[in-house]
Structure 1
Amino acid sequence: MDSGTHLVMGIALGGLALADPVVADSSMTTAAVITATIIGSQAPDIDTVLKLRNNAVYIRNHRGITHSIPAVILWPILITGVLALLFQGANILHLWLWTFLAVFLHVFVDIFNAYGTQAFRPISKKWIALGVINTFDPIIFGLHVIALMLWAFGSDPVWTITSLYSVIVIYYLIRFILQRSVKHAVKNTIPDAEKIILSPTMRFFQWRVAVNSSSTHYVGRAYGRSITIYDKFPIEPLPDTPLFHAALEDSNLAAFVSFSPLYRWEVSELEDNYHEVRLIDLRYRSENHYPFVAVALLNDNNDVIQSYTGWIFSEDKLRKKLIVD
């Protein structure tokens, strides 16, 4: 989920913590726990700072080790230790329990996005992405805002947040049912579909659709059970050539390949004897454009001169990032 949603979830969890008599009966513990649930709901996303290095490092590591099993154990210990010093007299055990729940909930809800997490590291580095909730879901965010406003205006926080989470659980079940219905519609539209990737959007009934058959990539949209296919591309394996071997050793392209489950490639010759190798993620088609790419420029000796991976919405911006001196 996005940072804003994680924030309101952390505040809401702090309200639910008042159901714990140990928390409710001590103002110091109450303050410590609400602070902890807010911090704990944000802590796993500290890896966002990796964007300051470059996109390749960010793509390889975001929602990786910071969302792993060891991290879910260590974050609460670290946060509890710091807050125990700031809120002396707070109950340490209950502070740790609610902090743990905040961190766990952050990682758990991220699993339902199309991006997913490596939540089972170090047991497995497989990305777990159920793809039923958009990274920002206006309904989930809006329900949290309403519940927090009711709390702020005097509603009982335990009853209010319990009702909120009950509604959200039902909402998640509805999303799973809708996703299953869309997958059936895709299979009816493309009977030989072997791999179906659905990416939810902010619109309740609308999904991005990317499909592989044995020979073709299909890209489209679903609105309810109505499937519209916009593009078809033949599936072509990556060429076994020195040019591609060199390109795929580049950190930007290697990060892209490690992250993207469905992409196509292009190679073109540019002026000054440069070759461009481009990998294009097919999951994020937007207004006739595929913005998530990895690109490498190589010379005649197959040396990578410039490369980039990330979101690009115009060729002009891409060219500016790949200026060769």
Structure 2
Amino acid sequence: MDTATHIAMGVAIGGLATLDPVVAESTANTHSVLVAAIIGSQIPDIDTFLKLRNNAVYIRNHRGVTHSIPAILFWPLVVTALVALIFPGANLFHLWLWSFVAVFLHVFVDIFNAYGTQALRPFSANWVALGVINTFDPIIFGLHVLAIFIWALGAAPGYTFLTLYVVVFFYYILRFIMQKVVKSAVLKTIPDAEQIIIAPTMHFNQWRLAVISKDFFYVGRAFKRSITIFDKFNRIPVPETPEIEAAKRDKNVSAFLSFSPVYRWEIKEFDDYKEVRFIDLRYRSNGHYPFVAIVHLDADLQILTSYTGWIYSEEKLRKKLNIIMD
């Protein structure tokens, strides 16, 4: 989920924690748990700072080890230690308990996005991405803001947020049902589909589609049961050419390939370099595919420059590549 929603969830967990008699018995415990819940709901995303290094490191590691099973156990200890310094009289066990709830819920809700997490590490490095909730879901965020507002008006926080999460639970079930309906509609449109990637959008009834059949890639959108196909590409396996093999050794291309489940490739030859490009098909926007990995190779197949990330115009991409080359 996005940062704003995670913060709202931290406040909600802090309010929910007042149902715990130990938390509710003192102001110190109530305040310390609220602070711990807000920090715990954010701390798994500390790997966002990897963007300061480069996109390759960020793409390969974001929502990776920081969202793993060991991390779920480690982060509450860190949060408890930090908050205990601010509130020395707080009950440590209950501080840890609600910190754990906040961290666990952060990682848990992230698996419902299309991006997903490596939440099963160290047992599996596979990305768990159920694709039923958009990274920012206006309904979920709005429900949290409404519940916080009701609390501010004087309602009992524990039961207010308990009611909130009962409603959110049924909302998730509804989203799974909607996704299943879309999948059935896709199979009617493309009967030979081998893999269907359905990603939510900010719009309640709209979904992004990337479909793999034996011979083609399809990219489209779903509105309720209606399927619209925008693009259809021949499904050509990535060849084992010297250019491709050289490109795969690049850190940006390697990071892209480790993350993207459906992409097409291109090789273009210019006067003084060759360009190898990989294009993720999941994020079509206004006729453009913004998530790419690109590498330029010289005549000896040495890497001149490369880039991976989200780019919305060829002009900006060329600027990125030129900056790197300089």
Q: TM-score range by the shorter chain?
A: over 0.9
CA RMSD of the aligned region, Å? 0.7
Distance between the aligned counterparts of 2:137 and 2:63, measured in 1? 18
The residue aligned with 1:156 is 156
Kindly provide the amino acid, as one letter, of the partner of residue 312 in structure 1: I
Helix, strand or coil at the partner of 2:41: helix
Distance between the aligned counterparts of 2:78 and 2:223, measured in 1? 45
Kindly provide the amino acid, as one letter, of the partner of residue 276 in structure 1: E
Kindly provide the amino acid, as one letter, of the partner of residue 315 in structure 1: E
Alignment partner of 1:187 is 2:175: no
Alpha-carbon offset, residue 86 of structure 1: 1.8
Alignment partner of 1:3 is 2:25: no
Alignment of 1:241-260 (within 5 A): 241-260=241-260
Structure 1: where are the runs of 5+ without partners?
A: none
The residue aligned with 1:13 is 13
Deviations 1:266-297 (A, max 9, x none): 111123x2111000000010111000000001
The residue aligned with 1:88 is 88
Structure 1 residue runs of 4 or more that deviate by more than 2 Å after TM superposition? none
Helix, strand or coil at the partner of 1:185: helix
Kindly provide the amino acid, as one letter, of the partner of residue 280 in structure 1: I
Alpha-carbon offset, residue 71 of structure 1: 0.4
The residue aligned with 1:52 is 52
The residue aligned with 1:274 is 273
Alpha-carbon offset, residue 85 of structure 1: 2.2
The residue aligned with 1:293 is 292
Deviating more after overlay: 57-66 vs 149-158: 149-158
Deviations 1:202-237 (A, max 9, x none): 000000000000110000000001000010101111
Helix, strand or coil at the partner of 2:120: coil
Deviating more after overlay: 168-177 vs 152-161: 152-161
Distance between the aligned counterparts of 1:67 and 1:312, measured in 2? 26
Alpha-carbon offset, residue 103 of structure 1: 0.2
Kindly provide the amino acid, as one letter, of the partner of residue 172 in structure 1: Y
Kindly provide the amino acid, as one letter, of the partner of residue 290 in structure 2: P
Helix, strand or coil at the partner of 2:179: helix
Structure 2: where are the runs of 5+ without partners?
A: none
Distance between the aligned counterparts of 2:52 and 2:168, measured in 1? 34
Alpha-carbon offset, residue 238 of structure 1: 1.1
Kindly provide the amino acid, as one letter, of the partner of residue 28 in structure 2: M
Distance between the aligned counterparts of 1:270 and 1:26, measured in 2? 71
The residue aligned with 2:224 is 224
Identity over aligned residues, as a percent? 64
Distance between the aligned counterparts of 2:15 and 2:273, measured in 1? 59
Helix, strand or coil at the partner of 1:267: strand
Deviations 1:6-34 (A, max 9, x none): 00000010000000010000111111100
The residue aligned with 2:126 is 126
Give the structure-1-normalised TM-score: 0.99
Alignment partner of 1:319 is 2:325: no
Deviations 1:221-263 (A, max 9, x none): 0000100001010111112111110101100000000000000
Distance between the aligned counterparts of 1:189 and 1:153, measured in 2? 50
Kindly provide the amino acid, as one letter, of the partner of residue 287 in structure 1: N
